[in-house]
Amino acid sequence: MSFRRVVVLAAVLFGIAEASHAHQVNLSTARVTLNGDRTVAVEVALKGSDADRLAGTKVFDAQRDSVDPALVVASAGPIVAYLTAHVAVASLDGKACVPGTAALVPDGDGVVFRSMFSCSNVAGDIVYRSTVLTATDPGARQIVLIGEGDNAPQALLDARNTTVTLSAPAPSPLSTMQRYLVTGIEHIFLGYDHIAFLVAVVLWARRLVPVIKIVTAFTIAHSITLSLAALDIMVVPSIIVEPAIAASIVFVAIENFFSRDIDRRWRVTFAFGLIHGFGFADALREVGLPPNAVAIALAAFNIGVEIGQVAIVSIVVPALIGLDRLTAADRTKPARAASLVYALSAVITVLGGYWFVTRIVDA
Where are the chain's structural domains?
3-170, 177-362
Residue 44 confidence (pLDDT): 95
Could you please state the CATH topology (level 3) that the domain comprising 177-362 is classified under: Growth Hormone; Chain: A; (1.20.1250)
Residue 1 confidence (pLDDT): 33
Asked if pLDDT for residue 30 goes beyond 90, the answer is yes
Asked if pLDDT for residue 359 goes beyond 80, the answer is yes
Give Cα separations from 350 to 53, 136, 188, 344, 353 (angstroms).
31, 33, 20, 10, 5
Residue 322 confidence (pLDDT): 87
| Structure confidence at residue 5 as a pLDDT band (50, 70, 90) | very low
pLDDT, the chain, mean: 85
**What is the C-alpha to C-alpha distance for residues 287 and 300, in angstroms, rounded to an integer?**
13
Residue 18 confidence (pLDDT): 36
Neighbour count for residue 163 (Cβ, 10 Å): 16
Q: Mean pLDDT across the stretch 216-231? A: 90
Q: Mean pLDDT across the stretch 337-344? A: 91
- Per DSSP, the three-state class of 2 is coil
| Structure confidence at residue 14 as a pLDDT band (50, 70, 90) | very low
pLDDT digits (tens, 9 = 90+) for 265-275: 999 999 999 99
Residue 93 confidence (pLDDT): 82
Q: Mean pLDDT across the stretch 77-92? A: 93
pLDDT digits (tens, 9 = 90+) for 127-173: 999 999 999 888 899 999 988 877 788 889 998 899 998 865 556 78
13-22, 32-41, 103-112, 228-237: which has the minimum mean pLDDT?
13-22
| Structure confidence at residue 8 as a pLDDT band (50, 70, 90) | very low
Asked if pLDDT for residue 6 goes beyond 50, the answer is no
Three-point CA angle 8, 13, 19, nearest 5°? 120
| Structure confidence at residue 343 as a pLDDT band (50, 70, 90) | very high
| Structure confidence at residue 229 as a pLDDT band (50, 70, 90) | confident
**Per-position b or e across 33-66, b if 16+ CB within 10 A of its CB:** bbeeebbbbbbbbbbbbbbbbbbebebbeeeeeb
| Structure confidence at residue 329 as a pLDDT band (50, 70, 90) | low
| Structure confidence at residue 21 as a pLDDT band (50, 70, 90) | very low
Provide the total of helices (H) and of strands (E) in the chain, helices listed first.
10, 14
End-to-end CA distance of the chain: 15
12 versus 175: the higher-pLDDT residue is 175
Residue pair 69/106 in contact by the 8 Å Cβ criterion: yes
